[in-house]
Structure 1
Amino acid sequence: MKRYDYIIAGGGLAGLSLAYHLNQSILRTKSILIIDKDLKTKNDRTWCFWEKGEQNPFEQIVFRKWNQVYFYGSEGFAKTLDLDDYYYKWIKGIDFYDFVRTDLVTNPNIVFLNATIERIRDTPDGGFVITDQGQYMADYVFDSITPLKLNLPGQHNLLQHFKGWEIVSPKPVFDPTCPTMMDYRVEQNGTGVRFGYVLPIDSYRALVEYTLFSDKLLEPTEYDAELHTYIRDYLKIEDFSIEQEEFGVIPMTDEPADDKELKHIVRIGTSGGYVKASTGYAFSRTQRFTQQLIGQLLTVGSPVRRRKTIRSFFKGLQDSTLLNVLLYGRHSGSNIFTMLYKRNPTPRLFAFLDEDTHLMDDLRIMATVPLGAFTKGMLHALVKRL
């Protein structure tokens, strides 16, 4: 049985980000095994995120970026949002996979294994991984494949699910200088929230997505029907061809990572709480959390479980409150997001969603949502936690 310093279980966003940042540090001399059942040769993901300037280590593979975005809200509200010193950026999954793999293959200490992981176990001697191609041991296993339970009575669980088409129109119908970040004009059915968004590639081509925050998936044909309706009725495009398509489901949950009792296994990615519970955004948080993890390995020699602080408690409660409001239909989700973007400067909202604001900014933003619904949601969230 082969032993490594680190095993990364899962070669998606979190696993490859961790491997990339390890390879940029002095920990690149450690023996590292990356296990994934998929070779990552398809463009199966789209990551959009905002950040200030060009500070991202993956800046050279940013496919498109914009300093302004369209926002279409409820009740006729529409606005071009100026992002100030932020950029809204788009990275294609295949570009990320290729970029990271090209970097990692130059290091002989990093080994890739294309295999299915059958079990991950914590033992007194280290993290133990069983695959369909063999068994492996490591000082630490960074696990991004163990699913969340998503059924705990004290937590809130929604799904962000979406289908997107990269479409081509015979006419120049898109504005390549400005994407549509959120479009809440689409029909809102039931609880949760639904919106479209458009990422233009040029005047003729764009990725068009239909997204829902809800507790249940649609039937496959429903996504297609909603996309057709959105493209026809709101984008006013009758004639187009579909070049590519993508589908995804991201848990939006306040369920904590279940690894506190594990000595040699550390949950990362969705399993580790890297997805922002109230929005489903993960790319920037993944970079921040994996770099923090490497900082711990460098300074204390082992991962440090994230401790609850007063600040993290209140940030988590804010996420739980919004999930509660949406899950129990306490107020229209489209109206909530419209109010947030109508009543707040976009850079302040971005900083808030990045958990990079102080108490006064948090209070300013919280004052712009329906206070009755959010007070009920917060009290119920507290009761569920207790």
Structure 2
Amino acid sequence: MNYKEKKHFEIIIVGAGLSGIMLIWEILNRKELRDKKILLLDKYQKEQAPRTWCFWEKGPSSFDDIITKQWRIAELFAGSSHLTTDMYPYSYQMLSSERFFNRAFSIINRYSNITFKQAAVEEVIDNESKVTVVTPDDVFSADMVFDSRLPQSTIDNYDGPLLYQQFAGRFVKSQKPVFNATNIRLMDFRMMQDKKVAFCYLLPFSSTEALLEYTIFTDQIYPPTVLEKGVDDYVLEHFDDTTMVTTSKEYGVIPMGNFPSGEKNKRIIPIGTAGGCSKASSGYTFSFVRLHTLHIIDSLIANELPTSYSFFIPRRFSFYDSVLLRVLKKHPEKGQQIFFQLFKKNSIEVVIRFLHNRSTIREEISIFLNLPVLPFLKAAFAEFFFRCKLF
């Protein structure tokens, strides 16, 4: 179909979420790029639901002044086992979407070359020399398009190992000092693991305020009421406190899989989860979005076409992720052992590097030697033969 294009931009960004806004923010931070003519498209006028992002950080970052809270001590629980670890030289940091977007838009709104339009994108067409973007009312063109949409059809048609990370979080406040304000509970598996990996996650802001989150890895999507009950049960079992009240809630579903994420040398570049920035085995996204954004910035400065995140990390890490997903899908009851031993048997620096796809092969071998051998061997062979069929 031939479209009559209304206006041309150097860059069009589809989606005003984390990946799209972080990309504009970093473009405006570079004097070589900040004059580019950019169109930001999103079907919503503003973010639909506030959320939080958490990540490990080593040293200062550009987000230090808007961080909600950071911690150095992490605890893990599995059955009767308990582990406390000092994460130094890293800290575990929380950033609220509200603070992030407020800061980003306070910068974006100063630039007249950035245009925001509320519109759903119906079609994005790569015409080799430019890209056409179709909305219900307009047609635009651009030198390149960064697209954060992950179509449901991509998930539905995915043949690889797939789980969903679901979480229900509550920001709670108590009249009694029931929280250890210096320690996070990174993973607390002291709950039923039937047909799913389930754990609670606790981030304390003070001795009386915290974020409590119930998380499951499962191959089916449960209604929010199931996750809400998980939070209720955890509070009843581990906190003798009838004064605790909920001040706000968050809920989310993250598909965990190594989905196809575009092609090299194309003018449509997937970003965010669509670009491979949600780690398939953990759901962590923020750090990978930031890393991908910096890759895009370097490519733009060098007048090169960027790629999706999936293309510039060693392929072995996506293989590891898929193997773990296969194990958790078939043996969800082993999840608590796998994650607890990961932190218990390895130094925290090695674990964090591994979770960020930055570990060495020697470090990875050391990690694998402490995992349940038979389930992982079977899953590794299954993933190997699955990938062979793709070529």
Structure-1-length-normalised TM-score:
0.94
For structure 2, which runs of at least 5 residues remain unmatched after alignment?
A: 1-5
Match of 2:55, SS state, is strand
Change (3 A) 1:332 1:324: same
Q: Which structure 2 residues correspond to residues 195-214 of structure 1 after superposition, within 5 A? A: 195-214=199-218
Deviations 1:53-84 (CA, angstroms, capped at 9, x unpaired): 22x22121110001111211x23111221102
Alignment equivalent of 2:53, drawn from 5, 26, 47: 47
How many pairs align?
Answer: 381
CA distance in 1, matches of 2:265, 2:359: 32
Q: Which structure 2 residues correspond to residues 97-116 of structure 1 after superposition, within 5 A? A: 97-116=101-120
Identical-residue share of aligned pairs (%)? 32
Partner of 1:360: 362
Deviation at 1:207, TM superposition (A): 1.1
Partner of 1:378: 380
CA distance in 1, matches of 2:368, 2:191: 25
Are the equivalent residues in 2 in contact too, given 1:296–1:303 (CA < 8 A)? yes
Which contiguous aligned blocks of 4+ residues in structure 1 show a shift greater than 4 angstroms? 304-309
For structure 1, which runs of at least 5 residues remain unmatched after alignment?
A: none
Are the equivalent residues in 2 in contact too, given 1:42–1:94 (CA < 8 A)? no
CA distance in 1, matches of 2:200, 2:310: 37
Are the equivalent residues in 2 in contact too, given 1:274–1:286 (CA < 8 A)? yes
Q: Superposition RMSD on alpha carbons, in Å?
A: 1.9
2:338 equivalent to 1:332: no
Are the equivalent residues in 2 in contact too, given 1:331–1:373 (CA < 8 A)? no
The code of the aligned residue for 1:59 comes to D
Change (3 A) 1:172 1:42: farther
Choose 21-30 or 125-134, whichever is displaced more: 125-134
Are the equivalent residues in 2 in contact too, given 1:330–1:373 (CA < 8 A)? no
Deviation at 1:306, TM superposition (A): 6.3
Partner of 2:3: none
Match of 1:22, SS state, is helix
CA distance in 2, matches of 1:308, 1:295: 15
Alignment equivalent of 2:270, drawn from 256, 264, 267: 267
Partner of 2:41: 35
Deviations 1:127-156 (CA, angstroms, capped at 9, x unpaired): 222223422111111000142612446411
Deviations 1:230-263 (CA, angstroms, capped at 9, x unpaired): 1111233333211101111111101221x21783
Change (3 A) 1:305 1:343: closer
CA distance in 2, matches of 1:306, 1:86: 23
Q: Which structure 2 residues correspond to residues 51-90 of structure 1 after superposition, within 5 A? A: 51-54=57-60, 56-72=61-77, 74-90=78-94
Change (3 A) 1:236 1:367: farther
Change (3 A) 1:93 1:43: farther
Are the equivalent residues in 2 in contact too, given 1:43–1:92 (CA < 8 A)? no
Partner of 2:241: 237
CA distance in 1, matches of 2:366, 2:266: 41
Match of 1:27, SS state, is coil
2:175 equivalent to 1:175: no
Change (3 A) 1:292 1:135: same
The code of the aligned residue for 1:296 comes to S
Q: Which structure 2 residues correspond to residues 145-160 of structure 1 after superposition, within 5 A? A: 145-147=149-151, 149-152=154-157, 154-160=159-165
Choose 17-26 or 236-245, whichever is displaced more: 236-245
Deviation at 1:103, TM superposition (A): 1.4
Change (3 A) 1:265 1:70: same
Match of 2:65, SS state, is helix
Deviations 1:89-140 (CA, angstroms, capped at 9, x unpaired): 0000111111111111122211111222222222245222222342211111
Change (3 A) 1:165 1:146: same
CA distance in 2, matches of 1:70, 1:300: 46
